[in-house]
Amino acid sequence: MIVCVAVVGHQNNPLYIQSFTEADDALKLHHIVHCSLDVVDERVNNPKKSGPTLNETFLGLLYPTENYKVQYVFFSYGYLTNTKVKFILVTTDLDVRDADVRNFFRRFHAAYVDAVSNPFHVPGKKITSRTFAERVSTIVKSFGLSSAT
């Protein structure tokens, strides 16, 4: 189950963060996203120490964490574009297939490109498009379904 998605700019400025849980989890999920950014920076700045090659945009599992109050374990995955914009996916399910996560990021990236291609969007500013938010919700709802394209 996806609990949060985020788009973070090349200067680690949040461009879009959407949680798909109760409102009281929002701060905790923002914290997980920001901790995941530290892992992204470490992997980008030290490519020899960790798995992905320089041309690989999918960064894989970034940051597993446990929440003892609610008994959830959160797993975050990362994706880095050529322009250093980062996409973060936070899920509660460990048994997520890499193919599903890659497909999610491919679709999420396409939605992002469409949103920032809008002539009224100011580069580097938060994405406020209702169309983008609806498209992201659709992508999240179809996550893990084998018929999703």
For 91-147, how does the pLDDT look when each residue is reduced to its tens digit (9 = 90+)? 887 778 888 999 999 999 999 999 999 999 998 899 999 999 999 999 999 987 754
Q: What angle do CA 30, 92, 10 make, to 5 degrees?
A: 35
- The band of 7, judged by pLDDT with boundaries at 50, 70 and 90, is very high
Q: What is the pTM of this model?
A: 0.80
For 73, the token pair is 């374990």
Laid out side by side, the sheet with 58-67 consists of: 14-19, 2-8, 86-91, 72-80, 58-67
Q: Pairing mode, if any, of strands 86-91 and 2-8? A: antiparallel
Rounded CA separation 94/71 (Å):
14
- What gap in Å lies between CA 73 and CA 75, rounded to an integer? 7
